[in-house]
Amino acid sequence: MKCIIIAGGSLNTGETIRDSSQPPGMDWKTGWKQRLDHLLATADLIIAADSGAGHLMKLNLLPHIIIGDLDSIDPPALDFFKEKGIKVLTHPARKNQTDTQLCMVHALEQGADDITFLAAAGTRLDHTLANIFLLANLADAGIQARLVDARNEIHLVQGRLELAGNPGDLLSLIPVSRKVEGVTLQGLAYPLENQTLFRGSSLGISNCFKGKKAIISVRSGTLIAARAAD
């Protein structure tokens, strides 16, 4: 089941960028808004984290559920969705999980096995980092997941990750573990074979696709794989 979790960060629907992971048949120079529409249209489950529901209201879309402490959603938006019969799962403001993590837990309970986080990055770096590291929980559970915005697509790699792209697309690899062993990179301009990367090293920054596919393999440890539009 494909799930979209839309948080309250930046969505940047007005940006037009080179899109390195467009759906089949979509022109590689298509804008972010078109890709966003495709992601939402092909989702089986759409969950709004608190004020993330406001993004959907602007896009004239309905979530299946709104989850959070409701401290940041605009009251008119909340009233609108309630009038439409959208389920709202309210949590107390004093809690041990962010609204986005609560949405992730709900998605897993519903059987989601492919999760995309939207608007999960923004001016609050603490929230952005926390959302990126939610991917670790999903990687541990064998769930496909990524954090996507207008200019970035973030994955956590434990084991093996295969990505589709275009020649020249930027891809950076950043160690999360103190060391990541057995790193092998295929389909990239700067390949590696069974190498060790250490946290704090910038060796993996600004690699790029040679063709239409890149494969990242690690024997132990965790990498952030960050594809960026430059």
pLDDT in tens, the chain (230 residues): 999 999 998 887 554 434 444 444 333 335 788 889 889 999 999 999 999 999 999 999 999 999 999 988 999 999 999 999 999 999 998 889 999 999 999 999 999 999 999 999 888 899 899 999 999 889 888 899 999 988 889 999 999 999 998 999 999 999 999 999 999 999 999 999 999 999 999 999 999 999 999 999 999 999 999 998 86
Q: What is the side-by-side strand order in the sheet with 114-118?
A: 87-90, 65-68, 45-49, 2-6, 114-118, 144-148, 152-157, 223-228, 170-175, 207-208
CATH H-level, domain 151-230: superfamily: Thiamin pyrophosphokinase, catalytic domain (3.40.50.10240)
Fold of the 1-150 domain = Rossmann fold (3.40.50)
In the chain, which residues fall in CATH 3.40.50.10240? Answer: 1-150, 151-230
Residues 6 or more apart whose Cβ sits within 8 Å of residue 65? 47, 48, 86, 87, 88, 89, 106
> Based on the number of CB atoms within 10 Å of its own CB, is 115 exposed (0-12), middle (13-18) or buried (19 or more)?
buried
CB 103 within 8 A of CB 4: no
pTM of this structure? 0.88
